[in-house]
Amino acid sequence: MVNFADINTFKMSVPKIHPKNIEIHEFQYELPEDKIAKFPIEQRDQSKLLVYENTEIIEDVYRNITRHIDEKTLILFNEAKVIHARLYFRKETGGRLEIFCLEPDSRYADISTAMKQEGEVYWKCLVKGIQRWKDDSPLLLDVEDPNFNAKAYKIKPEGNSLIIRFTWKKNVSFSEFLEEMGKIPIPPYLKRESDKSDDIRYQTIFAKNEGSVAAPTASLHFTESILEGFRKKNIDMEHLTLHVGAGTFMPVKSEKMEGHEMHSEWIEIPLDLLKRVKKQIERKEKTIAIGTTSTRTIESVYWIGVQILRGEWNEEKEQGIAVEQWYPYEKEDEFSSLESVNALINYLDEKKVTKLITRTQLIIAPGYDFKMIDGIITNFHQPSSTLLLIISALVGENWKTIYRYALDNNFRFLSYGDGSLLWK
């Protein structure tokens, strides 16, 4: 056990500066290659667990996580399901290209609608080897399958990506096409090709809503046995969705955060979840988010409610980016969490819909005041990443001591690694 109070470098909080002024080098640390977990361990819930609470570190395993969570706590899981987003096509002359499907074209109302398209779909993609695709001739699916006869057509560039029109003959949805012809997109820092085991282990047991190109990895450690332990201890569970985008792998390249554009991601917020969260706030009971994805989603709920209360919310916001990255830092947060959640509940009731589907660009960094959660269960993240900024926003400068402890005590890092329970 390590007591932070005994460490001279311990600081109670991070200076209240605008995150735009944060220099990303302050969130750099040395991560040896042998600390990165290339494969998951055999039993999900045997992963190591670091618990940080009241300036102390305790070491355990996920199977015992219930011991560290009080009854009546609410836990929020992400139901996002990873799609087989890597496709391989070839030119008629034989050159092979990899197409990484990022997200649907803007012509679709949401990811679910786009995934159901049959025979044709437009998708925003990254193309590896795009310099070899010089003309407008279609690419052919690299797998010889006359039932599909799939082709990829170049439509237009969009930033660093490309809008591609996919066509196929087989009478299946794009979701089914990807499942059969694509590969699971494991993180690039694993430096290996995906195999059949990743189809199972790179999905959480909650995976339900298709659309993510990366797993909400904090949930990879959970098993039915752990969930049963939660139920026996009267620990409640609810689900939301954030479809993880490829931007989750991208390190911050600018010296200051003001030069970094946060990727926006689709979120789905059920009305039933909001009503359950409202009860939790009224009872003054704790809420834990599983992962940075659940954290960004539930914290976005607060800022959407605030916009409704301020009269800033409209259909255009709902269909675009609901929470822009710097929004929380540029206006006073004059409303309580309860007021904000109530406003969103009333909005959905008036529209007679059961969930809100929109996008968030929210960046959580030191200086952020958490509105909806008391703690987070999460993995150990890459240096100089926006995910590490979330951890620092929650525990302050102590992230350095927490990560040093993990490195010194053989914790495994990144997506297939171990994790932590961190209380703010």
Domains identified in the chain and CATH numbers: 2-81+202-423 (3.40.1780.10), 85-182 (no CATH)
Mean pLDDT in the chain?
Answer: 93
Rg (CA), the chain: 22
Residue percentage of the chain with pLDDT more than 70:
96
Question: In sequence order, which residues have a C-beta less than 8 Å from that of residue 191 and are 6 or more positions away?
Answer: 38
Residue labelled with tokens 């290209």: 97
Q: Which two tokens stand for residue 145?
A: 């399958």
Q: Is the pLDDT of residue 4 over 80?
A: no
pLDDT at site 11: 35
Strand duo 355-360 + 48-53: pairing: unpaired
pTM assigned to the model:
0.92
Position 302, amino acid:
Y
Q: Which two tokens stand for residue 368?
A: 């952020």
DSSP conformational letter for 119: S
Q: How confident is the model at residue 5 (pLDDT cuts 50, 70, 90)?
A: very low
SS3 state at 219 = helix
Q: How confident is the model at residue 16 (pLDDT cuts 50, 70, 90)?
A: low
Q: Is the pLDDT of residue 43 over 80?
A: yes
Question: In sequence order, which residues have a C-beta less than 8 Å from that of residue 352 and are 6 or more positions away?
Answer: none
Q: Is the pLDDT of residue 2 over 50?
A: no
Neighbour tally for 200: CB within 10 Å: 9
Angle between helices 291-310 and 386-395 (to 10 degrees): 80
**pLDDT tens profile 132-145:** 898 889 999 998 77
SS3 state at 43 = coil
Give the integer Cα–Cα distance in Å for 397 and 387: 15
Residue percentage of the chain with pLDDT more than 90:
84
Instruction: List, in sequence order, every residue forming a beta bridge with 357; answer none if it has no partner.
Output: 268
If we measure between CA atoms, which residue out of 270, 331, 271, 269 comes closest to residue 300?
269
Give the integer Cα–Cα distance in Å for 335 and 298: 16
**pLDDT tens profile 365-418:** 999 999 999 999 999 999 999 999 999 999 999 999 999 999 999 999 999 999
**pLDDT tens profile 344-361:** 999 999 999 999 999 999
If we measure between CA atoms, which residue out of 403, 400, 323 comes closest to residue 358?
323
Q: How confident is the model at residue 232 (pLDDT cuts 50, 70, 90)?
A: very high
